[in-house]
A and B are shown apart, each in its own frame.
Chain A
């Protein structure tokens, strides 16, 4: 990123305040471009981003599931009202209960990305020039005034001195370019000359990560409550054509109480054909064809059977008791009989709870006609004993467990990883392999040749010592001479 000030001074005209430009009728796109390439604006955006993130950390944030549902959101607002009092409305209107999906946050990210892209594009041309076509001829004043400089008097003639200089530079991993200008030989030595492109990598990686995040947010799918009763098969849906079956589920605990492992044996089917069998554990998700199955939760399930009066089987599989009843005493599951237009609720006491209406080991069925709130019938079933409700025969076969999975397809994550790798690579390039450019000029002298070496490095005080070592090396190689004239700051 280049600052407005340096851009202006490079092109040789004094910087004019943006407001003045606008008043003077400068084309709006020029004004926008100027703002986008301004370091000050980029920094402001960065700080706004930081502040918004801080706000998002400090204030309670509405969960994603709640945000999509107005009724649930209203309920959530009431729940946080005691905490924020009269501010609740204000914070809600400002969108600060969902900072990370608010227009402020997204707008800042958008502007920052635009700023990063424009800056990177603007900057890379200059970096390319610096790396490939350095200015070769430096003035004498440069060698007199540069913060790091040394003079070497050699008895070798200039051609030999150049060869010696070249080999000494190479020994220090510098790349040497030479330009002859009459009697003077100009040398430009570079180390890690591509490293500054790390900056471009870093800035573009940021944009890449944002693009990845955008893809994550807008494509693929994420199903956080796929409950698969053991022994049953559940369709993944979302156009994947996949079904997942749980062969088993086991939870184990340490003697002191905390959980040790949750583990399901999963079989994946595509078009009815088993394609993968694998144990799914926390930290070891099952992946297939870009879709990932994460072990997430578990709970009780019951195996139910439903038949018509003629004995045709309508339903025969596990029902995950995924929900908790309002009195928090029971676990509730649901399945549908679409042909009959029936919706069946299965209610069982939660483990350790006693519901006087349902004897231990039994389960209760509540059958509703779809769209109606009055039950067709409510009946308590003992294992293995059939009961008829609404013309359908129901049998509570047995209790089982279900395993809860998060199933997700996230095409954005790959881009996020590429961006992250680029970010880390860029940081290492910039911080560990800084570009060093040292210049030298060789002139014929009275006893052979005079060599002046100089470099400018303002950002790194440690460079002075590096330069001293390099200069000593060059002196050993090029020839005897008086002591170095030391310039710049001493080494830390």
Chain B
């Protein structure tokens, strides 16, 4: 079952790459089509109204979207299989956690795809997921048995699952913020309107923030049970608190001081950077969260 799970991770990785290729092709085809239309319009002088702006690109992008759903399916299967094989939530070492991170990013991306139908977000989210999957290939994928401190199936599953969703939401928020920032010189073809991106990034943070809060609270409960105190200023705890605080600052700056657009987008990239720092922090600083 473990090797089957690993095949699913590889299949997921290939699907992510294919989805990305489709998205890149979508942009390229739009550009080519656009050029043709210009030429046609110049030579014939005809007005082309049958094909709407960006429709060709959207047609190609549908394949990318389908493939990214496929990738989500493969990773879900990989995690489920690993869960079945190890008997605990697939979050116990860096390999399992990085696959889960990729899954989190893809799942929140999938939710946004369904809800808001903006495939371009995937252009940023998919590379993030791919990065995590590539990273997972560099760490040992063997299923390690749980050391005593991790032997709490319920909290291991819920604490890390909420973290994965939170990180995934921050990745999507970051993607929207980045698409906003690249348009600072004016709107770009195919990309959603800046106001919409601003709103999408806010939506993503509204998911990420409560989940991060839950992660921290559940972590405190677990720490109280396993380590004998609810807060130890462990590097990972502190880093997650930094992420939480920056996120809090973003929410307040937005709702009370009316921060929108550029500044809000920059703050969100900071939130994502802090989330990444939290994720990788235990590799640099050791501490209680070092589980290989």
A residues within 8 Å of B by Cβ?
1-3, 39-40, 42-43, 46-47, 49-50, 53-54, 56-57, 61, 100, 213, 216, 222, 224, 254, 256, 258-262, 281-285, 292, 294-296, 406, 408, 410, 413, 416-417, 420, 423-424, 427-428, 431, 459, 461-462, 489, 492
Contacts of B127 in A (CB 8 A): none
Chain B interface residue count, CB cutoff 8 Å, equals: 47
A283 touches B252 (CB 8 A): no
Q: Which residues of A contact B235 (CB under 8 A)?
A: 57
- Asked if residues B230 and A413 are in contact (CB atoms below 8 Å), the reply is yes
Partner of B196, one of A53, A417, A492: A492
Q: Which residue of A lies closest to B206 (CB)?
A: A431
Q: For residue B206, which residues in chain A have a CB less than 8 angstroms away from its CB?
A: 431
Main secondary structure of the interface of A (DSSP, over half): mixed
Q: A406-B228, A489-B195 are in contact. Are A427 and B151 (CB under 8 A)?
A: no
Note all chain A residues with C-beta closer than 8 A to B152. 283
A427 touches B225 (CB 8 A): no
Interface of B is mostly: helix
Q: For residue A417, which residues in chain B have a CB less than 8 angstroms away from its CB?
A: 221
Q: Do A43 and B249 form a contact, CB below 8 Å, given A406-B228, A461-B196?
A: yes
Instruction: Tell me whether B245 and A39 are in contact (CB under 8 A).
Output: no
Q: B147–A50 contact, CB under 8 A?
A: no
B207 to chain A, nearest CB (A): 8
Complex Cα distance, B148 from A42, in Å, reads 42
A-B contacts, 16 of them at CB < 8 A, read A2-B256, A3-B257, A43-B252, A53-B241, A54-B238, A54-B242, A56-B233, A57-B238, A256-B145, A259-B148, A260-B145, A294-B227, A406-B228, A427-B210, A431-B209, A461-B199
Residues in chain A near residue B149, CB distance under 8 A: 282-283
Cross-chain contact B242 with A53 (CB below 8 angstroms): yes
Q: Which residue of B lies closest to A410 (CB)?
A: B229
Q: Report Cα–Cα, A399/B257, bound state, in Å.
A: 68
Known contacts A492-B196, A492-B199; 11 additional CB pairs below 8 A are: A1-B252, A3-B256, A43-B252, A50-B245, A50-B249, A56-B238, A281-B148, A283-B226, A417-B221, A431-B209, A492-B118
Assembly CA distance A213 to B214 (angstroms): 18
> When chains A and B are docked, how far (Å) is the Cα of A283 from the Cα of B285?
24
Provide the residues of chain B in CB contact with A261, threshold 8 Å: 148, 151
Instruction: From B210, B214, B230, give the contact of A416 (CB < 8 A).
Output: B230
Please report which residues of chain B, range 236-251, place their CB below 8 angstroms from some CB of chain A when the two chains form the complex: 238-239, 241-242, 245-246, 248-249
Taking CB atoms, residues of chain B closer than 8 Å to A258 are: 144-145, 147
On chain B, the residues within 8 Å of A222 by CB distance are 228-229
Specify which chain A residues have a CB less than 8 angstroms from the CB of B38 in the assembled complex. none
| B217 and A292 contacting across the interface, CB-CB below 8 Å | no
Could you tell me the distance in whole angstroms from the C-beta of B91 to the nearest C-beta in chain A? Answer: 16
Question: Is there a chain A Cβ closer than 8 Å to B200's Cβ?
Answer: yes
The reply to whether the CB of B12 lies closer than 8 angstroms to some CB of chain A is: no
- Please indicate the chain A residues that have their CB under 8 angstroms from the CB of B224 in the complex: 413
Given A46-B248, A420-B217, A492-B196, A428 contacting B210 (CB threshold 8 A): yes
- Which of A61, A258, A282, A428 has most chain B Cβ within 10 Å? A282
Is the Cβ of B257 less than 8 Å from the Cβ of A40? Answer: yes
**Cα–Cα distance between A190 and B39 once the two chains are bound (Å):** 56
Contact of B2 with A by CB under 8 A: no
Chain B residues, CB < 8 A from A259:
147-148
Q: In the complex, are the beta carbons of B225 and A283 less than 8 A apart?
A: yes
Which residues does chain A contribute within 8 Å of B203, judged by CB atoms? 462
Q: How many angstroms from the CA of A56 to the CA of B233 in the assembled complex?
A: 8
Chain A residues, Cβ within 8 Å of B213? 423-424, 427
Q: A282 and B199: CB pair below 8 A?
A: no
Q: Is B281 an interface residue (CB 8 A)?
A: yes
B56 to chain A, nearest CB (A): 23
Q: How far is the CA of A258 from the CA of B253 in the complex (A)?
A: 47
Distance between Cα atoms of A215 and B221 in the complex (Å): 17
Q: Across the interface, do B217 and A423 meet the contact criterion of CB distance under 8 Å?
A: yes
* B-side contacts of A295, CB under 8 Å: 148
- Taking the nearest CB of chain B, how far is it from the CB of A379, in angstroms? 39
Q: Which residues of A contact B230 (CB under 8 A)?
A: 216, 413, 416
Roughly how many angstroms separate A260 CA and B226 CA in the complex, as a whole number? 14
Q: Which residue of chain B lies nearest to A256 when distances are taken between CB atoms in the complex? A: B145
Residues from chain B with a CB closer than 8 A to the CB of A40 are 257
Cβ of A96 to closest chain B Cβ, rounded Å: 13
A50–B233 CA distance with the chains assembled, in angstroms: 13
Contacts of B252 on A, CB cut-off 8 Å?
1, 39, 42-43, 46
Residues of B within 8 A of A416 (CB): 220, 230
Smallest Cβ-Cβ distance to A294: which chain B residue: B228
Q: Does any Cβ of A come within 8 Å of B63's Cβ?
A: no
Kindly identify which residue among B220, B239, B241 contacts A420, using a CB–CB cutoff of 8 Å: B220
Across the interface, B225 reaches (CB within 8 A) one of A42, A285, A296, A431, namely A285
B175-193 Cβ-contact flags toward A at 8 Å (1 or 0): 0000000000000000000
Bound-state Cα–Cα, A420 to B220, Å: 10
In order of increasing CB-CB distance, the 7 nearest A-B pairs are A282-B148, A50-B245, A294-B228, A57-B238, A406-B228, A420-B217, A427-B210
The smallest C-beta distance from B13 to any residue of chain A, in angstroms, reads 27
- Chain A residues with Cβ below 8 Å from B221 are 417, 420
Taking the closest CB of chain A, its distance from the CB of B211, in whole angstroms, is: 10
Q: Which residues on B sit within 8 Å (CB–CB) of A100?
A: 233
Smallest CB separation, B272 vs chain A (Å): 15
Q: Which residues of B contact A39 (CB under 8 A)?
A: 252, 256-257
